[in-house]
Structure 1
Amino acid sequence: MNPDIFGAAIQDYYADQYSEDIVVQAADFDDDSIPIPYLFRSYEEMPPLEQKALSLCRGTVLDVGCGAGSHALYLQNECKLQVTAIDSSAGAIGVCQQRGVQQAEVSTLYDWKKSGFDTIILLMNGSGIIGRLQEIDRFFTHLKSLLQPNGQVLIDSSDLAYLFMEEDGGFWVDAAAGYYGEMQYRLQYKNQVSDWFDWLYLDYNTLQNAANHHGFVCELAYEGDHYDYLAQLTWVDS
């Protein structure tokens, strides 16, 4: 059974039992880590990209992959917006509820069927949830089923092209290997290890083209310092 890695780590931190971080493993790269305190960051501790995303939220908000609930709490308490926070991690949702998120439920994006939202936010490389590029049509079709007409999606990602830059400035990837932003990871926390899972990084042009195809107006809302960006997608319901 796939363990609830994020839930276990978030619960430990909230119970003052923090002793180590989540380790992120990828087949072709060195191990990385996700510091658990970062999941509990205040608005002031958030990067400018996230602060920009929160400033653009309006109406009823669906926070997808909410983690420990830091974004939802800010929107609920400081912006006075009606926020629903969802995450596939039961442990994370339990902590969200204990922290005061008024509407927090265990659900994946595709299992969530309640509609009528003005804003959907997918942050901390929100495009990752798509998994593989071939799933992008399913992704946008489902988003439209959750939005009000003229509703918006705020999603961030990074263009991994820089990983394939050569010394002369050229760009080389193996086209036969698929889209270069498709990654596979697994997570380790203490004595628990997750299954391998797909995670998608999208360059902005690919995201924009797919969004336009599905009736969204896509605008670049923020560019970070390391190939990361925030996109604002408005659904023009025709």
Structure 2
Amino acid sequence: MTDLPGKAIHDFHFTDRRKKLFVHDQFGPKVEMPVSYYFRNFKKMPELERVAIDNCLGKVLDIGAAAGSHALELKRRDFDVTALEISPLTCEVMEDRGVPNVICEDFFVFEGQKFDTLLLLMNGIGISSTLKGFSDFLKKADTLLNPEGQIIFDSCDIAYMYEDVPMPVSHYYGEIKTRYEFDRELTEWFRWLYLDSDTMTRIAGESGFRGEIIFEDENDQYLAVLTKIS
């Protein structure tokens, strides 16, 4: 798939071009995703993300690290942090920004290290795509965690998006078709997962993890910490 978010982040960092990045989904008009948002510092992060960073422990893997803002804050706090990102273009940006230990690889094939915290922000858990994919994500995560390790991620209940359209009957309502637009190019459609907290907790339990919601905001977003059930 064409890496349009990577192009947008790369252009923003290395050039003076300020073209807009848009997200399309099944619910209506496209929505702009301000590229500058990927470059925010700790003070400009929403409270949910600040709480997530405050709860990181030990050796951290920042999954889907994008431009590296969270990894840079963890570095500032002297964490041993590794930034994992599938986009070569955003990896170039992170390296130029001074993010340590940048690895350009797909999470689902990455191996060989163990971590105390797996961190996924900006609904990074969406890489799971489907409910089954979330179960697969947890199985993979288990291979990367130290015995007392944790997974920290945010997601949200998007039931409110169906006020004017019928709920799907063939799949879970949080499995959304989406695509990016940048510089008059479009990616192919792909699935991105949004998890309500009850469904998330249930699947986590079935996969051997205890789920705890440690923060919720006014936009139906929540922050979860998952730990392995001993």
Structure 1 letter corresponding to 2:119 = I
Deviation at 1:175, TM superposition (A): 5.2
In 1, the alpha carbon distance for the partners of 2:63 and 2:80 equals 14
Shift of 1:217: 1.5
The residue number in structure 2 matching 1:222 is 215
- Tell me which of 77, 100, 103 is aligned to 1:102: 100
In the TM superposition, what are the counterparts of 1:1-238 in structure 2 within 5 Å? 2-77=1-76, 79-165=77-163, 173-174=166-167, 176-236=169-229, 238=230
Is residue 27–residue 161 contact of structure 2 (8 Å, CA) maintained in 1?
no
Q: What is the identity percentage for the equivalent residue pairs of Structure 1 and Structure 2? A: 36
Provide the rounded CA distance (Å) in 1 between the counterparts of 2:72 and 2:167. Answer: 43
Displacement of 1:100 in angstroms is 0.3
Tell me, which stretches of 5 or more residues in structure 1 are unaligned?
Answer: 167-171
Contact 1:5 1:188 in 2 (8 A): yes
* TM-score, normalised with respect to structure 2: 0.95
Aligned-pair distance for 1:184?
A: 0.7
CA separation in 2, counterparts of 1:47 and 1:41?
10
Q: Provide the TM-score with structure 1 as the length reference.
A: 0.92
Q: Given that residues 173 and 180 in structure 1 are in contact (C-alpha distance below 8 angstroms), is that contact kept between their aligned partners in structure 2? A: no
- Counterpart Cα distance in 2 of 1:110 and 1:44: 32
CA contact (8 A) 1:6 1:91 kept: no
